Amino acid sequence: MSTQLYFIYDSHCPWSYAATQLIARIHTDFPQISLQLLHNAYFDGDNGVSLRTVEAVKELSGVSFGEQYIANLNENKDSTLCANLMTWVQNKSASSAFELLTNIQQQHFIQGKACIDKEDVAAIIDELKLSPPAKCLKHEKLTKDAEFVVHDIAEIQEIIGTNAIPAILLAQDENLTLLNHNLYLENPEHFVEAIKVELAK
């Protein structure tokens, strides 16, 4: 049986940042499950994050936010470059994709970097020994591959009946299950148990 976990997210979304800790547990506890990261590119430079949202994420998940990130909340967020980069690595070096995502989130939410240009992510790319093409390190527009992912996400969202992000889905052969990750943000261990139940069906 083929089993895949789909994580629909945005690298600049605080709720996606909180849900990443659930993905980390599954990635560690269930190495047999193939992880598919789908960057939704929701933050396009015309939207920001409110302090109220950040406080809600902290309360429900326990994740931390750096002082610099909080200080820059009034600045609009743009995840275009990260969507391009994450799509490329998912296609070309999937084994590095999750580590790249967590490193980007560390830079953005803890260190407070905008992660909008190649200088912000250069050190991460070097550390992971990645060689993305120049088109993936631009923030002016999505690459064709990133556009395809956004289109695929729209189709999935139509099937599951929600366009909310993040979304976590478990696919077993032809069966697709939307997992209510909100129930587990405070206790990832319970999410592991929920996955076990789904795998046993």
Give percent of the chain with pLDDT exceeding 90.
86
Averaged pLDDT of the chain: 94
Mean pLDDT over 130-141 rounds to 93
Distance from C-alpha of 179 to C-alpha of 197, rounded to nearest angstrom: 12
Distance from C-alpha of 153 to C-alpha of 159, rounded to nearest angstrom: 10
Q: Which domain CATH number covers 182?
A: 3.40.30.10
128 versus 47: which is more confidently predicted?
A: 128
Mean pLDDT over 37-62 rounds to 93
Contact 80, 47 (CB under 8 A): no
Counted domains in the chain? 1
**3-state SS class at 36:** strand
pLDDT at 8: 97
State how far the alpha carbon of 3 is from the alpha carbons of 20, 93, 107, 198, in Å.
Answer: 19, 19, 31, 11
Encode pLDDT of 153-189 as tens digits. 999 999 989 999 999 999 998 888 999 999 999 889 9
| Element holding 3 (H helix, E strand) | strand 3-9
Q: Could you tell me which of 37, 22, 24, 155 has the C-alpha nearest to residue 91? A: 37
pLDDT at 85: 98
pLDDT at 193: 93
| Element holding 178 (H helix, E strand) | strand 175-179
Per-residue pLDDT at 70 exceeds 80:
yes
Distance from C-alpha of 59 to C-alpha of 134, rounded to nearest angstrom: 39
pLDDT at 47: 84
Per-residue pLDDT at 1 exceeds 80:
no
Distance from C-alpha of 41 to C-alpha of 39, rounded to nearest angstrom: 6
Contact 113, 77 (CB under 8 A): no
Q: Determine if the pTM surpasses 0.75.
A: yes
Contact 69, 108 (CB under 8 A): yes
Per-residue pLDDT at 201 exceeds 90:
no
Look up the domain containing 169 and give its range.
Answer: 3-200
